[in-house]
Amino acid sequence: PIPLLIDTDPGVDDALALLMAFADRRHRLLGLTIAAGNVGLDHTVANALKLCEVAGVDVPVHPGCPVPLVHPAADAAYVHGRDGFGDTGYAPAARAAADEHAALAIVRHAREHAGRLVLVTLGPLTNVALALRLDPELPQRIARLVVMGGAVTGQGNTSIPAEFNIGFDPEAAEVVFRAFPQFELADWEAVVRHPLPRGSLEAWLQADDARARFYEGISRHTRQWSMARDPHGFHSADALAMAVALQPEGVRRAETRHLAVELEGRLSRGATVVDWQRRSGRPENARIVLDYDPALFAAQVREALGA
Ligand code: BDR
Ligand code: CA
């Protein structure tokens, strides 16, 4: 199996993505490195440990950076609940987090699995940026970097042009995107084009499986909140990125372009600026997923929930 490491800030959609990775047989999950983002680090670590417990998965959970590299940022508790998992009041996991810092775990796994490691990022890129400063050769060691983040034509979900993961820590994203000669990107606009059919999701959530039951509970608030945005489909950003990572053959259309992050700007800090017209001559670092097989995506989610 292909070694897999996931950097994540769980988060309701992170949880679905993680369940997909847990259910996958082609990859071997080495661990989870945890970012702050959707909510504070204490919660994202506790949520990761709880999800592992529910799914019966015993991989190390490495706490990472509690704050962005440079500027403080607001969380997304209004989407995910104050605890990031829909405020269900679940009993904390019995297991404790690992001692090793997330950035050190990324550096170590990249060395141990050089040329083979798949790194998927589902949150702000703070831990990966720090890992790059510890080991500048990280991009040469990692086989695939798959990122959920950005809004490639300026239609964001936090500010007008910025998507949450990039907007939370734009400096970290810029460090990462400059360093990697190529990464795969599932951006927010792709997420909006790939909704999970609501009727199907609701049916899968009724499955007689601990994962479905837990996910039904933690996603209730978010499913309600998202109704106003799209009554027919459920937008699960991290789940789409995970589908791309686990089954890249589902990608039906992608374009490769130069992508950079706007770090200033009165209205545009955190925007991902894509050189669609190839005007800059700068390195084409981003493979932007435009179309993913919806049936394959749905099948992965269904299996992840045990339905
Ligand atoms: C991204 O932001 C977070 O709120 C989600 O978990 C996802 O990673 C979507 O913009
Ligand atoms: Ca996330």
User: Which tens digits make up the pLDDT trace of 168-185?
Assistant: 999 999 999 999 999 999
Q: Which listed ligand is nearest to 38 at the C-alpha?
A: 1
Mean pLDDT of 111-126: 98
Q: Are 39 and 79 in contact (CB under 8 A)?
A: no
Per-residue pLDDT at 157 exceeds 90:
yes
Per-residue pLDDT at 227 exceeds 90:
no
Per-residue pLDDT at 228 exceeds 90:
no
The atom of ligand 1 lying closest to the CA of 168 is: 2
Query: Under the phi-then-psi rule, with left for phi > 0, alpha for psi from -120 to 50, and beta for the rest, what region is 11?
Result: left
Distance between Cα 9 and ligand 2 center (Å): 5
Per-residue pLDDT at 100 exceeds 90:
yes
Per-residue pLDDT at 93 exceeds 90:
yes
Return the best residue to mutate from 122, 126, 168, 187 for the ligand 1 pocket (most ligand atoms within 8 A of CB). 122
* Residue 255 β-bridge partners: 288
What does each C-alpha distance from 65 to 35, 54, 152, 177 come to in angstroms? 6, 25, 26, 19
ipTM above 0.85?
yes
Q: Which listed ligand is nearest to 75 at the C-alpha?
A: 1
Average pLDDT, the chain: 97
Characterize the bridge pairing of strands 183-186 and 286-292: parallel
Could you tell me the two tokens for 179? 């360093």
Q: Are 124 and 9 in contact (CB under 8 A)?
A: yes
pLDDT at res. 229: 86
The atom of ligand 1 lying closest to the CA of 158 is: 10
pLDDT at res. 53: 98
